[in-house]
Structure formats: structure tokens, C-alpha cells
Structure 1
Amino acid sequence: MEPPGEKAGEGARVRVTPELLKGRSGEFALDSILLLQLRGLGLAELGCLGECLGLEWLDLSGNALTQLGPLASLRQLAVLNVANNLLTGLEPLAACESLRRLNVAGNLLATPGQLQCLAGLPGLQDLRLRDPLARLSNPLCASPTYGAAVRELLPRLRVIDGQRVTGRGSDFYQLCRDLDRSLGPGTGPAPPTATAQPWVEPGYWEARPARSGSILEEACRQFRHTLRECHDLDRQAQDLLGQAQRALDPEDAPSSFVF
């Protein structure tokens, strides 16, 4: 059974409608939708999707989209998957100021310059341009130096194609940059002292006999109790995540793409 979209006959362009969005989300008001999965519906036009102003998580993978215009109004959007579409540009995403994770593998992006529109997104940390497991890529990935070009263009990125960045966008780089800023211009090294001072008091590193007693036993008991609670919470979280995944992925739906 086809989802409620707008189709005018054979070969018609499938369009996002309020009925489709309400049916997929279970929400009555479009601006109340926080999470939306529209994967593999043959969508060619996003229609009224821009009215979902509270949307934070969106999966549009496996459709026939050629442009993302309506997404420009989604200022709360944090995670977006548009893998396996027909996109040649990402310009509307420049307005998605909360975007943190973006999957555009399997589209028609030909040059790193087409990612320039993402440079102003302060929170974008994770970008996927190719997904070997799903055999999805972009023409720009054919160049052996595309990774370096992307890192130069988007220095805030921490993960590219599922791999942690080791250059300018890494945690180490950010730490060094913050340290340089904290020192400020003209701040030189501290003047040397007459004699080097130890970091710890004398005898700090000497082995001490193991302590026993009610205090240590009580601390161990509380630690074990806390550990059991953590295990219980982990099991509960796994159960809830499994329920959510089953609700989002009906049995007859195609397998999802990597975010």
C-alpha cells in the first residue's frame, strides 16, 4: 500500500503532503514533529516539509530528490540523512544552524566546492560522502585527495565518512587552538625559577599498605550497588532503543543507510 502522497498518474512526481507527514509521525500539528522517517518512498518534492519547524531528526534516504529547498526553514534540525538521492547541491542546508550530522552519500556532488555552503554551520561535526557498505558515493570521492580538500574546507569536522579526522578538525587540534587563544597575544612563557620544584610532596610515590576496615568495605559495597544499577539502566535503555527502532523500521521497510 502506497503512503498518502500526491501522485497524478504513471511517472508522476511523489510530493510530501501534510497527510503523509501526520500519518508517518502520528502528530496532529506539523510543527510538533521532532523525528521523521521518509526513507524509500520515491519522493521527488519536499512539499510542505519546511512547516515542520521543530524537526530535529530526518531521514530522506533512498528517494529521488534533486533539491532541498524547504529544509532551509528547519533551524532545529540536528541529524539529516539524504543518502541515495539525486542532489547536485546542498545550498538550503546553510540555514540549518543546528545541524550536527549529515549523510549525503550516493548523490551527484562533483566537487568539494559544492560543500562550501556548509562552512558556516558551527555545530557540523560528522559528514558522510561515501558509504562503502551500501556502495554509495559521490563523483567528488573519485579524487584521492578529496578527504584533504574537505578537511581544508570544513575544519570543524571531526568525522568524515565514518573515520575520525586526525588533522585540523580533530579534538587535539581544537584543544591546541583553545590553548593558544587562552594565552592571548604577547603572553610569553613564565620566567624560570631558581630551582625546580617537585610536583608532589616527598613520599607521595612510596607504596602504602592496603587499608582495611568498615569505611573501605562500605565504599566497595556502594560501588558494587552502583555498578548493578548501571547495568540495569543499560538493559532498560537497550530495550527502549529496540522498541523505538522497531517502531521506526517496520518489517517490510528497506534496510536503513548509515548516518
Structure 2
Amino acid sequence: MEAERADKNVKITVELLKSRSGEFDLESILFLKLKNVGICHLGCVGDCVNLERLDLSGNNIANLTPLASLKLLIVLNLSANRIANLDPLHSCENLQSLNLAGNLISSVDALRSLTELKNLETIRLKDTVCNFSNPVCLNTSYRSAVLEIFPKIKVLDGERVSGRGSDLYKLCKDIDASLKEMYSSGSFGELPGPKKWVEDSYWELKPVWKIQTDKSIEQFYGILKECKELNSKAADVIAKTERTLHTLK
């Protein structure tokens, strides 16, 4: 059904908004999902003045003018559309998260109209999972240019760049890259197969390889040992509880 609708040029109407939201009054709509409907014209969506979350991904939208009246909008997903001009969004003063992956944004300058959005924390121009991007992403320096325009941004393209967790994210990313390099070079030999979460041997400690004798590895095995002990204690508590319940029957 959605595939059939996606081939049509749909305009947002009062009837469509009411049927999708289940609300009789447009001002009562706080959340709206209009994904893959084939929308090419936003129509009267601007009448939903109390809208906080809006998903318009996977449509044929090019003109964002009707969104200018959505002052309370917090989360906006516009991925996979035909958007090149973002100017109408400068009025969405409460916007915190904006997904623009898979559109026609050709330069970083197109984002400058959003610089007055003081609450904006998350911007996505590229989504490698869905293979969505924008022409601007072809520029190797676009990330640094975006971060220069939005110095307070916390997440860009799904990667945390500032705020709590940014250092941890970078550390994990570096570790992941190092592990991939070691795997590809054969330093670890043949990788073991996956283990089931509930297998008895899951918590068994494995001998530490000589190349992994640093402090971080020791800490890891210490945590693993604690997890094993907690797992054992939890199993004992569950067994005792089951016995108690059995005696009460």
C-alpha cells in the first residue's frame, strides 16, 4: 500500500492529518508520522502549531515554507526528499534534532539559515546505514565546515562530537579501528565463533594473550569476573525464589 502511495503526488490535507493522527483538532497534534506517503506539497501541516515531532521522510518534498509556523517543533525528519533550500526552518526556534540525509543540499552555505536555532543539537546530512547523503557530503572538508558554523552542535551524522560521551565515543572508535587493523593483519589468528548469551561457558575467563598485558585488559578481565559473580548470585536468588513460590502453592 505504501509503495503505491509513494508513486502519487500527495498534498497534505486536513483529512489526511486527522486520519493519520487520530485527532479531531489539528492544534492537538503533538506527534505526526507521514513517512513514505508520496507527499510533494506540505499543504496545511503548518496549522498543527503545537507539533513537537514530525517525520516526513521518504517523500517528494522540495518546498518547506509551511513548516515555518511550527515554533514548538523539536524533532524533524526530512530524510530522502528533494530539499535544497532550508530557509523556512529558521523560524522553528525550538528545533533540537534535524535529519536531512538523502536530499539535494549542495553546499554548507545552505545550512547558514539554521545558525539562529540556539537549541539545535543534532544534524544529519549523511546516513551510511540507509545509504543516504547530500551533494555537500562529497566535499572532504564538509564536516569541519559544518562544525565551524554550528560550534555548539553535539551530534553530526550520528557521531557525537561534543558534550558528555564525546571522548568515550572517540575512544571506542579508535579502539574499533585498531582492532580491525589487527584482525586484518592476522595478529589475532582465527576468530572464535559467536557465543550464546546463556551458555554456561560464557563467563569463563580466557587466558590473556601476551600482546594484551596492558592495564586496560586487566581491568576488562576484572569486570568480567565481577559479572560472572553477579550472574551466579542472580541465579541463586532466582532458584531460591522459585523454591519459595513452589512451597507456597
Q: Which residue of 1 aligns with 2:139?
A: 143
Q: For 1:60 and 1:69, how far apart are their aligned partners in 2?
A: 14
Shift of 1:70: 0.4
Partner of 2:60: 64
Q: 2:60 aligns to what SS in structure 1?
A: coil
How do 1:14-93 residues align onto structure 2 when only pairs under 5 Å count? Answer: 14-93=10-89
Output the TM-score relative to the length of structure 1: 0.60
Report the structure, 1 or 2, having the larger helix content: 2
Residue type at the aligned position of 1:33: I
Partner of 1:245: none
Q: Which residue does 1:101 correspond to in 2?
A: 97
Structure 1 residue 154 displacement after superposition:
1.1
CA offsets 1:149-205 (integer angstroms, 9 cap, x no match): 000011121100011115xxx4699xxxxxxxxxxxxxxxxxxxxxxxxxxxxxxxx
TM-score with structure 2 length normalisation? Answer: 0.63
The corresponding residue for 1:121 is: 117
How far apart are residue 103 of structure 1 and its match? 0.2
Matches within 5 A, 1:193-212: none
Specify the SS of the correspondent of 1:134.
Answer: coil
Q: Is the 8 A contact 2:49 2:70 kept in 1?
A: yes
How many correspondences in the alignment?
A: 163
Q: Which runs of 4+ in 1 moved over 4 A?
A: 170-173
Distance 1:105 1:81 in 2: 9
Helix, strand or coil for the counterpart of 1:36? strand
The sequence identity of aligned pairs, in percent, is 47
- Alignment-mate amino acid for residue 165 of structure 1: V
Larger RCO (CA within 8 A; separation ≥ 6): 1
Distance 1:31 1:13 in 2: 25
Q: Is the 8 A contact 2:8 2:38 kept in 1?
A: no
For 2:86, the aligned partner's letter is: L
Q: Which ranges in structure 1 are unaligned for 5 or more consecutive residues?
A: 6-10, 174-259
Give the CA deviation at 1:12: 6.2
Distance in 1 separating the partners of 2:152 and 2:116: 10
Structure 2: which 5+ runs fail to align?
167-249
What is the RMSD computed on CA atoms of the aligned residues? Answer: 1.9
> Residues 57 and 79 of structure 2 are in contact (CA less than 8 Å); yes or no, is this contact kept in structure 1?
yes
Which secondary structure state, in structure 2, belongs to the residue aligned with residue 23 of structure 1? Answer: helix
Per-residue displacement from partner, 1:11-57 (whole Å, max 9, x unpaired)?
86310000000000000000110000000000000000000000000
Instruction: For 1:101 and 1:86, locate their aligned partners in 2 and report how far apart those are by CA, in whole Å.
Output: 19
